[in-house]
Structure 1
Amino acid sequence: MRGLHADTGYLLYRLGLRSGQLFNTFLQGSGLRLRHYAVLRFLAASEGALQRELSARLGYDPSAIVGLVDDLEKLGFAERRPSPDDRRSRIVVLTEAGRAFLRDTDTAGLQVTNELLAPLGPADRETLHGLLLRLAGEGLG
């Protein structure tokens, strides 16, 4: 194997792009993008987060986080609240409408994954997932 396909990093990059394209196509009707979805998923796994924490954990520029949270607030999927630890800070929390949106996207997310991983059987998918978890470690939030 020669050329770009010999480079594992490049293949991961291309698969990430393809996955993002598939998911963004699904999200198109909602007006959201994969970056919004990532914020919602992070918030669903937490009791809320400071915007700077979202930026650090998701790897997005702080100014991008402000815009993403603004968009999610306009849709009623997230809201900013005073932080219980520091009244000068505000945390972003997922609303019930945001939770409902995520529940509604679970099936579509599975369809995207199934389309992307169609060439792999169940055992290979499990192996790939385990390897990706090991590679990601704490680096991907």
Structure 2
Amino acid sequence: MSVAATTSGSIVLLTRLARRVYREATDDVLGMTLKQFVALNHLGEDTGIPQRQLSDVLCLDANNLVLLLNEVERLGWAERRRDPADRRRHLVYRTPAGSGALMAAERGMDAVEDRILDTLSPQERATLRLLLAAALAEGTPSHD
């Protein structure tokens, strides 16, 4: 393990790790952009997510989310529908074509993950995933 890895804070290390992912998870590897991949991961075919909630989850402002959704809709991977409970808002759904594209992209992302995390054992990878999920969980109380 390098000195930088042992002396850097967790956020610095996560940022470095994210940059490696961005570098390796190219359009050629995934068959889509990384932003499209992340967006499709948050969508379901049967349950829509409010557009505003998707904006919050993806940390995108409303304008950038609309541009992203326009592109995935043009590709046939997602669709916006009026919320029957509140006609003023849209719910976003992944289409069956989007699910197929996502499955193919996940195979590419698995290869990227294997390259980036090749020094970790399967148990360490599982622990890392649980820790990251816990850190990203909504409603996680602050410990300051």
Query: Same fold, TM exceeding 0.5?
Result: yes
Please classify the TM superposition score into its range, dividing by the shorter chain length.
0.7 to 0.9
Whose helix fraction is larger, Structure 1's or Structure 2's?
A: 1
2-side partners of 1:3 and 1:118: how far apart? Answer: 16
The residue aligned with 1:58 is 58
Q: Is the 8 A contact 1:5 1:11 kept in 2?
A: no
Where do residues 43-122 of structure 1 align in structure 2 (5 Å cutoff)?
Answer: 43-44=43-44, 47-122=47-122
**Structure 1 unaligned residues grouped into runs of 5+:** none
Q: Give identity over the alignment, percent.
A: 33
> Could you state the TM-score of these two structures normalised by the residue count of structure 2?
0.83
Contact 2:25 2:112 in 1 (8 A): yes
Contact 1:78 1:92 in 2 (8 A): yes
CA deviations over 1:68-114 (Å, ceiling 9, x no partner): 00000110111111211112322221111101111222211211111
Q: Encode CA deviations 1:26-67: one digit per residue, 9 max, x unaligned.
A: 23xx3x311111111101387112221111122111111000
- The count of aligned residue pairs is 137
Q: CA RMSD in A?
A: 2.3
Query: Secondary structure in 2 aligned to 1:91?
Result: strand
Q: Which runs of 4+ in 1 moved over 4 A?
A: 2-5
TM-score (norm. length: structure 1): 0.84
Tell which has more relative contact order, 1 or 2 (C-alpha 8 A, sep 6+). 2
> SS of the counterpart of 1:69?
helix
